[in-house]
A and B are shown apart, each in its own frame.
Chain A
Amino acid sequence: MKNILNITGLCCDVEIKDSVFGKSKKKRILNNISFSFERGKILGISGKSGSGKTTLAKCICGVIPPSSGKIKIEVTNPESKSRSAQLLFQNSSDIVNPYRKIYRMVEEAIDYSSQKIEDRENEIKEIFETINFPSHLWHKRGFQLSGGEQQRAALARILAVRPELLVLDEPFSAQDVESQLNLVNLFLKIKEKLNVSIICISHDLKILRKLCDEIIILFKGEIVEKGTTEKVFSNPTHPYTKFLLKSENYDLSYEELQLHKEALE
């Protein structure tokens, strides 16, 4: 039970339908993804847009079924199997109902999760405290919150079902650097306090370096680099990873950019 997640030979195809002739063709989004991930760690997944990051997250959480391959989540509590992996979507502010009170929303999540909780009030209080959600916002409605507050409200709702694996899809996008750092600290706190393993998807390598124990780099739907954060940053092997790291400091020459033309967004 050391690993929380084992993925072997995961492939995911989407069908693209031709609207005129009704023919459809298949496009492979993820190709032969295999990795395992240790309990209690934080894994970062990076790569450019369209490399399959979000598709991988959705496959792990069971939002979309894979075309082939196996995804196995090892849970400690068999009762919680159906809700053991939770996904925080990229546009988290859109999934908070603007007309409902945040407290009620979290309460509802607990009700539906069929957990046996004696002191529900205390449980909710603990969740809010873990994510630094101030008490004057508990009874506010979705539309009254800022983007960052909505994101934390969405997080509270996910944490209310006590997942063992938390998947975060671009949680740092559209935030200034100060709030990004606060989020990093928040995720570390959640990991410690609620005993969850975290997979964090981001195109921002700088922030992943601060947060993660291990890093995976995706390129065109395949894993091109995998290892501990230290190893990936100090000793990258794949040319695409080298390119990404060099571009962080704007040290690329025109020739290097030319070579990786297709990696420009």
Chain B
Amino acid sequence: MLDVKIDHILLNGSEIVKNIRFSLKQKMIYTILGRNGSGKSTLIKALTGLLNSGVYSVNGKVLLQNNDLLSCSSDYLIRLRSSQIKYVFQDPVNSFDHLKKLKYYFKKTGKPEEDVLKLLGEFLFEEPAKIFSMYPYELSGGMAQRLNFVLAFLSSPDLLILDEPTSGIDNAVSNLLLLKLKSFVCQESKSVLLVTQDLNWAAKVSSKIAFLENGTLSDFRTPEEFFNSSDNLVKSFLTSLQMIKK
């Protein structure tokens, strides 16, 4: 459904990532692992032209149904990001405007209230009806992240792109998100692309895993292949990541 051929992404002339080639198929969860500053977030933002073109330059193609997203107008991309490709960014609480009640965000999706309530219930909110009149600063991190997911799911996108969905989120909520993502990709023509540093979570959630280091992306492999790989590059990456983690 999405074909990515990015030759390189430059930040003020210096190369952040280079030679990225992958394609996403439906009904799959793709994970990109990588350390802080490896360019994960830059890469996923580049896919729909979210990078500031004043400082970044992206060379290559991102094909969605033979339509190159990198050469599309920004109006088209805005519409695309509100329907077909949805993002959930890092820092869930500050993804919201703190002066607007959450009702504002639910209204924007154009979905009837019953649908919203039903989805809130599925995300295990205790009193879904109360959420409407709350302000974002009243939410905990886990609640805010669940709401980001609810909002993303409401527009029923084909591709969901997640940036560090579990950072700062407690285990039980991460566990819930994992189950929700899995049932999301059970539907026809849906897929997920996410970046994370959480090895355990990645191992449980992913259909395919790749890692980004020194600006290059490895091949996508299944979690079993990835974690038992005899490839020296993968091995050294995993040990270096585990050194930090353990």
- Residues of A near any B CB (own CB < 8 A): 48-49, 176-178, 181, 203, 243-244, 247-254, 257-258, 260-265
Q: Say yes or no: is B59 at the interface (Cβ < 8 Å to chain A).
A: no
Whether A252 touches B244, Cβ cut-off 8 Å, given contacts A49-B140, A257-B179, A262-B126, is no
Instruction: Report the nearest B residue to A251, measured CB to CB.
Output: B175
Q: Say yes or no: is B124 at the interface (Cβ < 8 Å to chain A).
A: yes
Task: Give the Cβ gap from A251 to chain B, nearest Cβ, in Å.
Answer: 8
Give the residues in chain A near B174, CB-CB below 8 Å: 247, 250
Check B244–A176 contact: CB distance below 8 A: yes
Whether A265 touches B246, Cβ cut-off 8 Å, given contacts A203-B170, A250-B175, A257-B175, is no
Bound-state CA distance A154–B15 (Å) is 41
- Residues of B near any A CB (own CB < 8 A): 124, 126, 140-143, 146, 170-176, 178-179, 200-201, 204, 243-246
Q: A247-B174, A251-B175, A254-B179 are in contact. List 12 more A-B contacts (CB 8 A).
A: A181-B246, A203-B170, A243-B172, A248-B171, A249-B200, A250-B204, A252-B175, A253-B179, A254-B176, A257-B175, A261-B124, A264-B173
Check B244–A250 contact: CB distance below 8 A: no
Instruction: Report the nearest B residue to A254, measured CB to CB.
Output: B179
Check B176–A264 contact: CB distance below 8 A: yes
Whether A177 touches B246, Cβ cut-off 8 Å, given contacts A250-B200, A264-B142, is yes
Q: Which of B124, B201, B245 contacts A250 (CB 8 A)?
A: B201
Check B173–A265 contact: CB distance below 8 A: yes
Give the residues in chain A near B175, CB-CB below 8 Å: 247, 250-252, 257
Give the residues in chain B near A261, CB-CB below 8 Å: 124, 126
Give the residues in chain B near A243, CB-CB below 8 Å: 172
Whether A264 touches B179, Cβ cut-off 8 Å, given contacts A177-B245, A178-B244, is no
Whether A48 touches B170, Cβ cut-off 8 Å, given contacts A261-B124, A261-B126, is yes
